[in-house]
């Protein structure tokens, strides 16, 4: 399994290097085109580390409405996964921007939603890159465009780590977020 992952990651690295030498566009695993000015994580739609079953969570529901999420069988990815469900066409997020977002957060282990801005009826306002949110958000939302919806699969070390957030988030939990970017201020 480790050899298979190493071969896949090497092939991914070579593909990214080749893509950087030519056209500035690439296609992610979902067939969507993204520019390579984004980080390699964003440009591929994931880090190349999918779950042990090879699948990512599926998201249903309309942009602007609370999403429904289905977690696949198998273990979670070990690295941050970023996948645009719906690309926005507004301003692109940069570190230091003030954002207004809707979100829903789920535990990978049981698929339970632990929090959602849709439940309170209030979007969430914060500054990206200022440490006001978990590291997985600070890294995973940069490059997103206003009006878009994104899936983030966040490993424990970029979430709440060994301590978790009892009682809703167990220790060492992989987090899954669906985020809608309403406004870049």
Instruction: Choose, from 71, 82, 177, 180, the residue flagged as catalytic.
Output: 177
* Angle (nearest 5°) at CA 73 between 31 and 5: 60
* Residue 114 among the catalytic residues: yes
Instruction: Choose, from 28, 115, 126, 157, the residue flagged as catalytic.
Output: 115
Q: Could you tell me if 140 and 128 are in contact, meaning their C-beta atoms sit under 8 angstroms apart?
A: no
Terminal-residue alpha carbon distance, the chain? 45
Instruction: Choose, from 82, 138, 160, 169, the residue flagged as catalytic.
Output: 160
User: Beta strand pairing status for 81-86 and 149-154?
Assistant: antiparallel
Which three-class secondary structure state does DSSP give residue 134?
coil
* Angle (nearest 5°) at CA 65 between 62 and 67: 75
* Residue 8 among the catalytic residues: no
Instruction: Choose, from 103, 124, 154, 180, the residue flagged as catalytic.
Output: 103
* Residue 124 among the catalytic residues: no
Q: How many residues make up the chain in this entry?
A: 185
Instruction: Choose, from 71, 85, 128, 134, the residue flagged as catalytic.
Output: 134
Shortest CA distance to 151 belongs to which of 89, 96, 77, 91?
77
Q: Which residues are catalytic?
A: 103, 114-115, 134, 160, 177
């Amino acid at each position: 399994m480790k050899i298979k992952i190493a071969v896949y990651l090497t092939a991914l690295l070579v593909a990214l290097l080749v893509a950087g030498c030519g056209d500035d566009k690439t296609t992610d695993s979902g067939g969507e085109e993204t520019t390579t000015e984004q980080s390699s994580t964003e440009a591929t739609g994931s880090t190349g580390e999918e779950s042990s079953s090879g699948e990512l969570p599926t998201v249903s529901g309309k942009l602007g409405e609370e999403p429904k999420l289905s977690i696949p069988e198998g273990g979670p990815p070990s690295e941050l996964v970023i996948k645009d469900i719906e690309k926005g066409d507004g301003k692109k997020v940069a570190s230091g921007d003030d954002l207004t977002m809707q979100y829903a957060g789920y535990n990978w282990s049981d698929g339970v939603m632990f929090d959602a801005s849709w439940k309170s009826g209030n979007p969430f306002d914060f500054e990206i890159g200022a440490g006001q949110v978990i590291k997985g958000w600070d890294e995973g939302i940069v490059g997103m465009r206003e009006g878009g919806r994104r899936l983030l699969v966040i490993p424990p070390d970029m979430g709440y780590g060994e301590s978790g957030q009892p009682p809703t988030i167990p220790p060492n939990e992989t987090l899954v977020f669906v985020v809608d970017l309403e406004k870049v201020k």
